[in-house]
Amino acid sequence: MTLAVHDMKIQDHGCLIGGVWQAAAGGEWIEMTDPCDGSILARIARGGAADIDAAVAAARKAQPGFARRPPVERVRLMSVISRRISAEAERLAQLESRDTGKPITQARNDVVAAARFFEFYAGLADKVMGSSIPMGDDIVDFTVREPLGVTAQIVPWNYPLQIACRSIAPALATGNTIVLKPAELACLSVLEIARICEDEGLPPGVLNVVTGLGSEAGAALAAHPGVDLIVFTGSVATGSQVMQAAARNIVPVLLELGGKSPNILLADAAVETTVPVLLKAAFPNSGQTCSAGTRVLVERPILDRVMDQLAGRLPGLTLGRGLDDPDLGPLVSAGQRRKVEGYVTIGAERGRKSSPAAPSSGARPKRAAISCGRRCFRSSRPRPGWRARKSSAPC
């Protein structure tokens, strides 16, 4: 059954702690808005340190029993979850598109990836094997791989569904429990995944979700002494804070932080056929992607041709609401737009030549506060600085 967007009702979404959906201990809520028109989609609980404490306690209580289950049970459970995600693909994709603003085709691809993560790691669950080590004199040592325990997972707003499933699935496959803190800007699809896991028989306390602000719930989770692993995807600045918090408790950390992926064009490149590929690489999810190719290193003999081609093609990119499947949807929030405008201003102040932010050839989002033109800056000095940092922007 697909989600009829115009029939979508505003709902309150609590935290999932120990198998129970509940309001935050502080009783406060955060409004989730549609990036396209600013309408309220839902309210999520504003969880804090008390909710994190409860979620970690629930995860720790559930972990030994979950780890003792026969691995084949985890295989079957994760396979069922994968099939359920696939069965509800269109509903989840529409929700992801409306929550993040990304084009619906990209959201559909995210759902495919989410289902695939559960399918892939289901195949790992009964193949976690140790090794034997002959020591001589009829002595054999052996190793046993054991779950870490409680994993803390902090998920970003740009790919909430895909990245949440990428973190949840391997943790479940290896007998760990989870306390997940999704981004406050976009997390409705993550809550749906938690409900699917619950519906399909995941035991209470194995997957806990605490919504709220990163500075409150996220910081409390990263600093919690009851977690055994922290998985974080986000900015370098926040990643540094997470790592420092983990160090105080001697907890291992997995970080995926911001990048500035360059594409390289040499003088013999076929410019006319390469530029469309550059645009496609630069603007997935409106450039709000850590691996977006928003930096292009071009050999000087073809630089003018490349700039002309980019400037000529940028106005042809359509801009609109994600559900209409444009080339670029709106930025995720007004705050993100202000950040992008800051990069544009810095570029202009430093004398960088740029293509004009031409009007879109498609329908613009109704809420101009979070729409943004597309720009291409030119710089002849390959020094580190603003253009070498992740911008999560269509420029």
Catalytic-residue membership of 256: yes
On the 0-12 / 13-18 / 19+ scale of CB atoms within 10 A, 85 is buried
Q: Tell me: the pLDDT tens digits for 162-203?
A: 999 999 999 999 999 999 999 999 999 999 999 999 999 999
Q: Between the CA of residue 308 and those of 100, 267, 272, what are the distances in Å?
A: 32, 15, 10
- In the chain, domain spans: 5-256, 262-388
Written as six digits, the tokens of 345 are 């201003």
CB 286 within 8 A of CB 101: yes
So what's the pLDDT on residue 365? 46
Contacts of 204 (CB under 8 A, 6+ apart): 18, 19, 20, 58, 62
Q: Enter the pTM of the model.
A: 0.86
Percent pLDDT > 90 in the chain is: 68
Q: Tell me: the pLDDT tens digits for 27-37?
A: 999 999 999 88
- Given 256, 299, 341, 349, which residue is catalytic? 256
For domain 262-388, the question of CATH label 3.65.10.10 is answered with no
Please give the full DSSP string across 10-22, using - where no structure is assigned: PEEE-EEETTEEE
Q: Is the dihedral of CA 241, 245, 250, 255 positive or negative?
A: negative
DSSP state of 319: B
So what's the pLDDT on residue 6? 45
The one-digit pLDDT tens for each residue of the chain (395 residues) are 334 444 567 899 999 999 999 999 999 999 999 998 889 999 999 999 999 999 999 999 999 999 999 999 999 999 999 999 999 999 999 999 999 999 999 999 999 999 999 999 999 999 999 899 999 888 999 999 999 999 999 999 999 999 999 999 999 999 999 999 999 999 999 999 999 999 999 999 999 999 999 999 999 999 999 999 999 999 999 999 999 999 999 999 999 997 777 889 999 999 999 999 998 888 888 778 887 888 889 999 999 999 999 888 888 888 899 999 999 888 877 777 777 776 666 666 555 555 555 444 444 444 433 445 555 666 656 555 555 555 555 65
Q: Between the CA of residue 381 and those of 297, 298, 387, what are the distances in Å?
A: 11, 12, 11
Q: Which of 3.40.50.2300, 3.10.20.30, 3.40.50.300, 3.40.605.10 would CATH assign to domain 5-256?
A: 3.40.605.10
Q: Between the CA of residue 267 and those of 186, 300, 308, 377, 378, what are the distances in Å?
A: 42, 8, 15, 19, 17
Q: Tell me: the pLDDT tens digits for 286-309?
A: 778 887 888 889 999 999 999 999
